[in-house]
Amino acid sequence: MFTYFRDIGLGITTVLKSMGVAWRHLFTPSVTLQYPTEKWTMPERSRARLLNIIEDCIGCGQCARVCPTECIRIQTEKRGKEEPEIVASNGTAIKLRTIVFDIDMTLCCYCALCTFACPTHCLVMTPAYEYSVYDKREHVYHFAKERSKIDKPPGGPSPAAA
Amino acid sequence: MESIEKLLQLIPHYEGLPELLRLALPMLVSCVLVFALLALAVLFLVWLERKVSAHIQDRLGPMYVGGWHGWAQTLADALKLLLKEDIVPESADKVLFKMAPFVVFLGAFAAFVVVPFGAMSFVTDLNIGVLYVVAVGSLSVIGLIMAGWASNNKYSLYGGMRAAAQIISYEIPSAIAIMTVIIYVGSLSMVDIVNAQKGGILHWFIFRNPFVFLGFVVYFVASLAEVNRTPFDIPEAESELVAGYHTEYSGMRFAFFFLAEYANMILVASVATTLFLGGWTSVLPGGTQLVPGPILFFGKALVLIFVQMWLRWSLPRLRVDQLMYLSWKVLLPVSLALVLGVGWLAVDW
């Protein structure tokens, strides 16, 4: 008999207690972010879409070699002797002309190994994360700007400007 | 209905209409009026429920449709449900399956006939009003078990059976809790009950004596179970039974179950308002009516509905045995004791 009444009392008090908790939360500010209108400020060094600063690229192909998903495709050709000497921003001489530098972001696994391999730090990950498209072919980013100086390009479609 | 009849008499040549039409027209108009108001209220309450639940869980809820805090979300949802395909399972009992949602809704809808929303705004004043509400209100259990059986689905059947067990069990304490008020008034008419509470907040039955206050609590808890709201939502327990009795329903028929659920919520809140919270009468002592009765009535009912929602998002679902324990071993003895207490106070020794 005692436990019967104690249980009823316990039931009432716990219900009131849980209602109190719910009432407090009714007025705590919401944690929802109204995404398309409000956005996270991404951390400065967050790793999302890849970007190649093609002016600094020496065409060494280390990024393509280290990539676990093989999403980077590079084609280079030797620069002619008569062409003016150019250097990357860290002083490395650029001896190869990068005619194809494609990154397929549908394959990228965001491991960032390529950025560590890059000797001139021209391949970086940017905080840009909103790049959905309707056609997945648009996810192949073409970074190479220079066209082949040789008459016949060494195969593959001519790279469009990024 | 009298006020509607007066309104209809403004139609030119109303007296010249055939007898049958003059009899049917006021009924039809009041039916449509109640239905329209009910549907509007349900649309609002579904939105409110989503908002309340969202804010209790530190979310925002619907925010886009219609501009201001997603006010048109339920409008869009209702439109979607009406346009969706009406799927009837191959092995279902087609007739019962199609009928069930309307039977469920009928129970809630028909009970509104006797609820006095204001001094003049009620459809009819039955001299057995409270009994009628209790009787018609439990009609919906037939619809629920019909839906559960006709779906030919184990989850639906479980849901229907649970609904029957639950609603019938909780009818008893809720009806006995209503008795505490009826002993005071000595009448079953809803209008008489409201009139007996005129004169401000201290004249409401809930504040007249402690037994009636506890009677209100018992009625409120039992009514939660009668309308299948959490913590008593075992007939549609989604984690066990998919959706209970309405598992197989889609489109407009599902919408009707939804409508019935919220209409039932409004019904029990309205009945509790009428019986315990003074109906449409004023809050102020002395009984000066500053706001129109119907608005006050809906305000009081809305507070009760908000408490229902608040409870829903605070408490977990009860187990079947706990549910039966609460009804038969706690609420029933307590309500009987309350009736005895009120009777003891009411007797002029």
Q: According to the per-residue pLDDT averaged within each range, which of A89-93, A119-123, A152-156 is highest?
A: A119-123
Whether residue A155 is predicted with pLDDT greater than 60 in this model: the reply is: no
Q: Residue A13 has what pLDDT?
A: 92
Lowest mean per-residue pLDDT among B79-93, B122-136, B209-223, B276-290? B276-290
Burial of B213 (0-12, 13-18, 19+ CB in 10 A): middle
**8 Å CB contact between B234 and B162:** yes
Residue B287 or A70, more confident:
A70
Look over chain A and give the mean of its residue pLDDT values, rounded to a whole number: 83
Whether residue A44 is predicted with pLDDT greater than 60 in this model: the reply is: yes
Whether residue B283 is predicted with pLDDT greater than 80 in this model: the reply is: no
Q: A132 CA to chain B: closest CA distance, Å?
A: 22
Question: Which among B83, B245, B270, B242 has a CA at the least distance from the CA of B164?
Answer: B245
What is the C-alpha separation between A64 and A71, in angstroms, rounded?
7
Widest Cα–Cα separation across chain A: 104
Widest Cα–Cα separation across chain B: 67
What is the C-alpha separation between B344 and B349, in angstroms, rounded?
9
Q: If you count DSSP H runs as helices and E runs as strands, how many of each does chain B have, helices first?
A: 14, 0
H/E element, B256: helix B251-276
User: What is the distance in angstroms between the CA of the first residue and the CA of the last residue of chain A?
Assistant: 81
Task: Inspect the interface and report whether the beta carbons of A22 and B55 lie closer than 8 Å.
Answer: no
Q: Residue A150 has what pLDDT?
A: 60
What is the C-alpha separation between A26 and B205, in angstroms, rounded?
30
Per-residue pLDDT, averaged over B167-193, amounts to 86
Which pLDDT tens digit goes with each residue over B42-61? Answer: 888 999 998 888 888 888 88
Which pLDDT tens digit goes with each residue over A104-133? Answer: 888 888 888 998 988 888 888 888 888 888
Whether residue B128 is predicted with pLDDT greater than 80 in this model: the reply is: yes
Residue that the structure tokens 């804010």 belong to: B55
Reduced to 3 states (helix: H, G, I; strand: E, B; else coil), residue A31 is coil
Residue B2: pLDDT band with limits 50, 70, 90? low
- Out of B58, B60, B330, whose CB is closest to A25? B58
- Cut 0.90: pTM above it: no
Residue A78's DSSP bridge partners are A96
Question: Which among B313, B231, B225 has a CA at the least distance from the CA of A11?
Answer: B231
Q: Residue A152 has what pLDDT?
A: 52
Which pair of tokens denotes residue B246?
């309405």
Is A31 touching B (CB cutoff 8 A)? yes
Q: Residue A55 has what pLDDT?
A: 83
| Percent of chain B predicted with pLDDT > 90 | 1
Task: Inspect the interface and report whether the beta carbons of A21 and B314 lie closer than 8 Å.
Answer: yes
Question: Which among B279, B284, B275 has a CA at the least distance from the CA of B299?
Answer: B279
Q: B63 CA to chain A: closest CA distance, Å?
A: 9
